[in-house]
Amino acid sequence: MRVGLIVDSACDLPYEFSRKHDLFILPVTAVIDGQTYIDEHDPVRTQEFYQSGLLQKGHHAETQAFSPQQIHDLFMEKIVTQFDVAICETVTRSRSLIYQNATEAMNSVMSHYQDVREAAGREGKFSMRVIDSKQIFAGQGLLAAHTLRLIDQRLSKNALRNEVEAFTDKIYTCVIPRDLHYIRERARKRGDKSVSALVAFLGKALNITPVIFGLGAEGQPAAKTRSFDMAVEKVMNYAAGRVEAGLLTPYVSLSCGLTWTEIEDLPGLNRLRDACEKNGVELLLSQMGITSSIYVGPGSLCLALAAEPHEFSDFQ
For residues 180, 133, 229 and 281, what is the CA-based torsion angle, rounded to 10 degrees? Answer: 180
> Domain 170-315, what fold?
Hypothetical Protein Tm841; Chain: A;domain 3 (3.30.1180)
| Spatial CB neighbours of 274, under 8 Å, sequence gap ≥ 6 | 240
- Could you report the per-residue pLDDT of 217-270, keeping only the tens digit for each? 888 889 989 899 999 999 999 999 999 999 999 999 999 998 889 999 999 999
Q: Cα(51)–Cα(300) distance, rounded to whole angstroms?
A: 16
Q: Cα(284)–Cα(21) distance, rounded to whole angstroms?
A: 13
Residue of 223, 290, 285, 280 lying closest to 61 (CA atoms): 290
Q: Check if the beta carbon of residue 29 is closer than 8 Å to that of residue 110.
A: no
The per-residue pLDDT for 51 is: 74
> What is the residue extent of each domain of the chain?
3-168, 170-315
- Please report, in tens digits, the pLDDT of each residue of the chain (316 residues total): 899 999 999 999 999 999 999 999 999 888 877 777 777 778 787 777 777 766 665 557 778 889 999 999 999 999 999 999 999 999 999 888 999 999 999 999 999 999 999 999 998 999 999 999 999 999 999 999 999 999 999 888 889 999 999 999 999 999 998 877 776 666 666 565 555 665 666 666 667 888 999 998 888 889 989 899 999 999 999 999 999 999 999 999 999 998 889 999 999 999 999 999 999 999 999 999 888 888 887 789 999 999 999 999 999 8
Q: Cα(244)–Cα(65) distance, rounded to whole angstroms?
A: 38
Q: Cα(18)–Cα(69) distance, rounded to whole angstroms?
A: 25
Looking at domain 3-168, its CATH class is alpha beta
Is there a common fold for 3-168 and 170-315? no
Residue 151 φ/ψ, nearest 5 degrees: -60, -40
Q: Cα(240)–Cα(27) distance, rounded to whole angstroms?
A: 33
Residue of 87, 84, 159, 74 lying closest to 126 (CA atoms): 84
Residue of 56, 34, 33 lying closest to 257 (CA atoms): 56
Q: Check if the beta carbon of residue 190 is closer than 8 Å to that of residue 95.
A: yes
| Spatial CB neighbours of 153, under 8 Å, sequence gap ≥ 6 | none
Q: Cα(255)–Cα(28) distance, rounded to whole angstroms?
A: 18
Residue of 162, 87, 161, 163 lying closest to 128 (CA atoms): 87
| Spatial CB neighbours of 203, under 8 Å, sequence gap ≥ 6 | 180, 181, 209, 210
The per-residue pLDDT for 224 is: 87
